[in-house]
Structure 1
């Protein structure tokens, strides 16, 4: 008796700690720069997300986050704060919680963007099921929710959201 098993080829990806230094995305001196390698590691992005795909997603995430915080940031700049790190806030591990939350918002916006953009393939070679699209959309919305909560925490407004049905 013999058995021949055919399976899709194994896909080997580079571990997150392995990629070459990717650089940073900066939006000027007031905002903290975003380290692309740190984002890749924190959000568990493997080598299937190439630097050429990661960079535009992070640039858009930075622009979106700064857009949500622009009026608040302008008020802080009018108070002569030289950077986001200079705005009085709780320090956790020696870093302003505002900087940490800004980073979290950017990371989550970028991951949501990537989750949506990578909805067109499956590395296992299996046919996509309808429920996979719904799960992927759900995951992207969860990342957006986390980004919104981080922004609302910086703004100092309530996290509560109520919808009338």
Structure 2
């Protein structure tokens, strides 16, 4: 005897686009705000990442970058620089490279966080390979963020290997 179970696929509806005001994460006064729509395009995040998750990840990334740059920011503020946008820096593509570096640091830290949240446990061989690939992506994202922060502060990048 055989049996057949029909299970309907879940009805997954795309998340509605939030109002424009909710797409901007307002930052501390010295640093720029972050546009979530721009971030989605810049680091290729699709609709599987919900707005709430992305917003939380961006807030955590902003906090981490701001804390890491705190002493550096205070030194520039003491020298009379009112915001990151006013910091003397090269302009490429019509924008200060310091603003681009700041965004890069926040974007990649947030993407690393979101990627870690979306890792799934799969006991199959292909699932293990996918997890290993995601670990490499997270590591690369964190490296990109660290390099952007070091570039902002003028700290040399270095690779140290134990022999």
Match of 1:131 among 129, 132, 154: 129
The root-mean-square deviation of aligned C-alpha atoms, in Å, is: 2.6
- TM-score (ref. length: structure 2): 0.83
When residues 54 and 127 of structure 1 are mapped into structure 2, their CA distance, relative to the original with a 3 A threshold, is farther
Find the residue that maps to 2:31 and give its secondary structure. Answer: coil
When residues 164 and 92 of structure 1 are mapped into structure 2, their CA distance, relative to the original with a 3 A threshold, is same
When residues 112 and 81 of structure 1 are mapped into structure 2, their CA distance, relative to the original with a 3 A threshold, is same
CA contact (8 A) 2:121 2:127 kept: no
CA contact (8 A) 1:19 1:47 kept: no
- Please list every run of 5 or more consecutive structure 1 residues that lacks an aligned counterpart in the other structure: 1-8
Q: Aligned partners of 1:132 and 1:47: how far apart in 2?
A: 20
Q: Aligned partners of 2:28 and 2:66: how far apart in 1?
A: 11
CA contact (8 A) 1:13 1:48 kept: no
Look up the match of 2:151.
Answer: 153
Q: Shift of the alpha carbon at 1:59?
A: 0.3
Between stretches 87-96 and 141-150, larger displacement belongs to: 87-96
- TM-score (ref. length: structure 1): 0.82
- Please list every run of 5 or more consecutive structure 2 residues that lacks an aligned counterpart in the other structure: 1-8
Number of aligned residue pairs: give it. Answer: 153
Look up the match of 1:114.
Answer: 114
Q: Aligned partners of 1:23 and 1:149: how far apart in 2?
A: 26
CA contact (8 A) 2:26 2:34 kept: yes
